Structure 1
């Protein structure tokens, strides 16, 4: 998807938080987290001279990715990415032969395959959902039949080459529909009848290619992963049309698609609302502000500022750790995984988003370039970045009891936590309520009169070492003091003030807590005026080394 074209029309929001080889989990063992990579540009990059290295040794890019913990690839598929003279459109020129070849390489490395049916000849995204050339003059009835037969034929061909995908995405960032104008929605079009029928035709084609005992999971995919109103509008309508799918896929780039808190809220809400798994099928972040091909990038100083992480390999890794935590924290193990978009798109000459023929097809006057070369997982010369190590990390264990405040429902004495107030009557400021940022409940401090209160937890029997404390918060502001703290760990009390945000959940943290006495007390303190409030959720204490 051509994010460099649509980014200018997106609302930039500061990064804070706000809502045999078949089967349902084929390439990964049931319950395993999917770390995936969309490597649709890889063949073209290699054709143009791109090479990849790890530790100074030249290797296959997929070998490097899989050895560092990536267990899936995502491959986009275009129907006919060539002009009438047979000239390729570029951007990977992802026809079926290219897709099968990449899938075979991935399978040989033990990786699963997700297939992205874009239902177009070239880029498909919310701003461009152009019918394939050969489908332009079909009647609507003919179009439905063609979509069915096309997806059936693709899956049949992939099965014949022993690369049947475990997951199929029907359409790409389809918030405005597919196959315009027949399947268009939005912009005043709220009738989803034809969109639902076209998606169902494609899904039926996939299923009709399967034999008894075979299964492919179906993803429906939107952009703007932090926009809960978009997802509920779209999926309410799609569910009403009876479209059969398994997973809700989201694009999420923190510099374009809302805050990470909004993403967290959305993931938790839609997984529960529709009883579906959720998956980030596109994300990326810059490792530098430099420009590999000298022709401009979509990630620069503004994106770094909005994204909230430094444009370094360490910043990439920190972003991915935080994103993984959000996805893994979706209740009931509904968070399935994350795909990095185009980690191997090196700035080699000619490996651009399109060729002159592709630009002409889309009536695109943009500069032919690689606008993504500083958001890869390899440097400009193809050397693997240190950020790759994050994909093989084990998620840390939360050492707190009831950090999500789900244990009791509504209560003033949440399990695992102690409470304190400056007067007995002010203890009523402390309570659990709905909704939380993850799960159903959150901790609240609030009274209609001035109060001072604290909710805290003491942990003993800890191994000495370095710890981190994190939490998600909302805050009305106006307090004399409102902070998260860590103390009694063998050092000076550490505090971090809780930022004011009344609607967007924000993540706060205290790092580098050096426990030397085997214990710690962590908590939240409010010295508040009348009607000041705090919401706190998903509190975690974990050892970092």
Structure 2
């Protein structure tokens, strides 16, 4: 970090849909794997502390790692640069994450009981899709020499960290490497479609890690977490080269990398397609639109509008909870967790993304600043934000789904009567406009669909009784071709006025809709989807959840 075509079903296919009733089955409570990662990337922390940054929890000063660990953070991600200094020994800044500082931070993390993810940038400074510059010491090597250097370097780093009692639990080989590593030898994309050298360079680094120590998981990391076509292209290419890895790592910022629905669809697809765990290793969101150093930020009004959450502490909390839910819901326990990028980058004077030496080395003319100070997990005075409390929440108990078959997976077949749901049509004979299908892009294997060749009105709903009175949230994911007279998700019969959430037209990107703050006072509720549609209109529904929030 430095800064499918829809498949249409025919009327004939729908007419032949199964109509036999099936027994309702309960939706299993959402479960989060015991090793679910709620981590923090703290590459700037040492520099912030050296320049005077201090951290507090409820007014009591403490170690930033200790504060975050106390709130539930269980992994630290550390970037490593080969030689982040110029010939005169001047540091490049941005944390100047050399091996010595990385080991020191890893030791601190281990002392707090946190796991360590080591991020090899394979560069002297920032590496990302637009910059994959070889380290100075490797720039004149032949390709064969380069492979040897990569192997020997990663082996020596792991040996040094293990000797210091700071062996990483997971290693990233490269940072946001959708365009490859170690340009030009390991470049991919554009006119370069041959993955051979990229695969060999990555394998050389991975072999070095494995030759040094056992039990370290290997992750490969791309940006653009919502771009499924990118991930299919890249991982098809890299797996064909036989690169041995364990985890697909993603960057996902909702204001840069696609919608939450696109992320969800991508996570579910790639975890199944490649039989790999998936881990969000970079994410963040703004807690304010203010600017701590007055020099501009990466997150402002346009990012807030695209991201879809308020630029507030509560907005940050809501984003993190929603993101955690998406990752925890990845089928077959393949969702490993989330890592927040630079939660401790306070706007202390001099704690910038680089120094003059770094700018000169990278030919960067940008203003030296902190562009991240409104996406941290501490305010500008170092006080812990309420967002940190989310790290310690047990997602399995926070969002137990009270609906039956909200994922529409229970039947495992094409049906007009999905288990647990009631279907009512205002038009005689049009109840078949509701069906489950695996022919549409779903969040799992199956999705609920509304479609008919003639105009239709249909409701898909559940009645839940025996509820504890309190505050509830109803949510779901939808695709819609648009054009309906009226289409919405609703909640009613809970002791208050019916509430509705309009469903927007979105034909290719899953959209999250929710109704929050439903005050159940009579122990029951009806929740569902109402669709008054014209001929040929369609709606897809998936992962519907009702859960108590207070």
CA contact (8 A) 1:473 1:498 kept: yes
Are 1:419 and 2:423 an aligned pair?
yes
The DSSP-based 3-state class of the residue aligned with 2:67 is helix
Aligned position for 2:248:
248
Please give the secondary structure, in 2, of the residue aligned with 1:386. coil
Equivalent pair of 1:225/1:266 in contact (CA under 8 Å):
yes
Q: How does 1:453-532 map to 2 (within 5 A)?
A: 453-532=458-537
Whether the 8 Å contact between 2:40 and 2:77 is mirrored in structure 1 is: yes
* Partner of residue 141 from structure 1, selected from 141, 144, 154: 144
Contact 1:437/1:505 (8 A) holds in 2: no
Is 1:269 paired with 2:269?
Answer: yes
1:34 to 37, 62, 72: 37
Q: How does 1:77-226 map to 2 (within 5 A)?
A: 77-210=80-213, 214-226=214-226
Residue aligning to 1:352: 352
Aligned ranges 1:296-315 → 2 under 5 Å = 296-315=296-315
Deviation per CA, 1:9-68: give whole Å up to 9, x if none. Answer: xxxxxxxxxxxxxxxxxxxx9633200000011111111111111111111100111111
How many angstroms apart in 1 are the aligned matches of 2:88 and 2:503? 62
What is the CA distance between 1:244 and its match in structure 2? 0.5
Gaps of 5+ in 1: 4-28
Per the TM alignment, residue 310 of structure 1 is displaced from its structure 2 partner at its CA by: 1.1
Residues 322 and 30 (structure 1), Cα distance of their counterparts in 2 relative to 1, 3 Å cut: closer
**1-structure distance, mates of 2:86, 2:182:** 19
Partner of 2:60: 57
Give the aligned partner of residue 293 of structure 2.
Answer: 293
Distance 2:169 2:442 in 1: 31
Contact 2:33 2:333 in 1 (8 A): no
Cα pair 2:343 2:375 within 8 Å, conserved: yes
Distance, in Å, in 1 between the alignment partners of 2:33 and 2:491 is 37
TM-score, normalised via structure 1 length: 0.94
Distance in 2, Cα, partners of 1:304 & 1:328:
24
CA contact (8 A) 1:268 1:437 kept: no
Conserved? CA contact 2:227–2:262, under 8 Å: yes
Secondary structure in 1 matching 2:107: helix
Q: How far apart are 1:436 and its partner, in Å?
A: 4.7
| Mapped partners of 1:364, 1:109: distance in 2 | 37
Report matched runs for 1:338-377 at 5 Å.
338-377=338-377
Does 2:434 match 1:430? yes
Deviation at 1:521, TM superposition (A): 1.1
Stretch moving more, 416-425 or 265-274: 416-425
Per-residue deviation, 1:293: 1.0
CA contact (8 A) 1:250 1:280 kept: yes
User: For residues 35 and 523 of structure 2, what CA distance do their matches in structure 1 show?
Assistant: 32
Does the Cα contact within 8 Å between 1:436 and 1:537 map onto a contact in 2? no
The question of whether the paired residues in 1 share the 8 Å contact of 2:423 and 2:431 is answered with yes
- For structure 2, the 5+ residue unaligned runs are 4-31
Specify whether residues 436 and 31 from structure 1 end up closer, same or farther in structure 2 by C-alpha distance, changes over 3 A only. farther
| Structure 1 stretches of 4+ moved >3 Å | none
Structure 2 distance, partners of 1:479, 1:122, is 52
Matched, 1:543 2:548: yes
Tell me which residue corresponds to 2:230. 230
Does 2:386 correspond to 1:410? no
Equivalent residue for 2:447, pick from 431, 442, 445: 442
Q: For 2:347 and 2:215, locate their aligned partners in 1 and report how far apart those are by CA, in whole Å.
A: 38
CA distance in 1, matches of 2:292, 2:519: 40
TM-score (norm 2): 0.93
Indicate the SS of the match to 2:48: helix
Aligned residues: 517
Which string of whole-angstrom CA distances, capped at 9 and with x for unpartnered residues, describes residues 285-329 of structure 1? 111111111111111111111111111111110110111111111
The answer to whether the 8 A contact 1:52-1:382 is kept is yes
SS in 2 for 1:197: helix
* RMSD, aligned α-carbons: 1.1
Question: Does structure 2 retain, via aligned residues, the 8 Å contact 1:329–1:438?
Answer: no
2:230 match: secondary structure: helix
For 2:471 and 2:289, the matched residues in 1 are separated by 31
* Cα deviation code 1:99-152 (max 9, x no counterpart): 000000001011000000000000000010000000000000000011001001
User: In structure 2, how many angstroms separate the alpha carbons of the residues matched to 1:115 and 1:282?
Assistant: 13
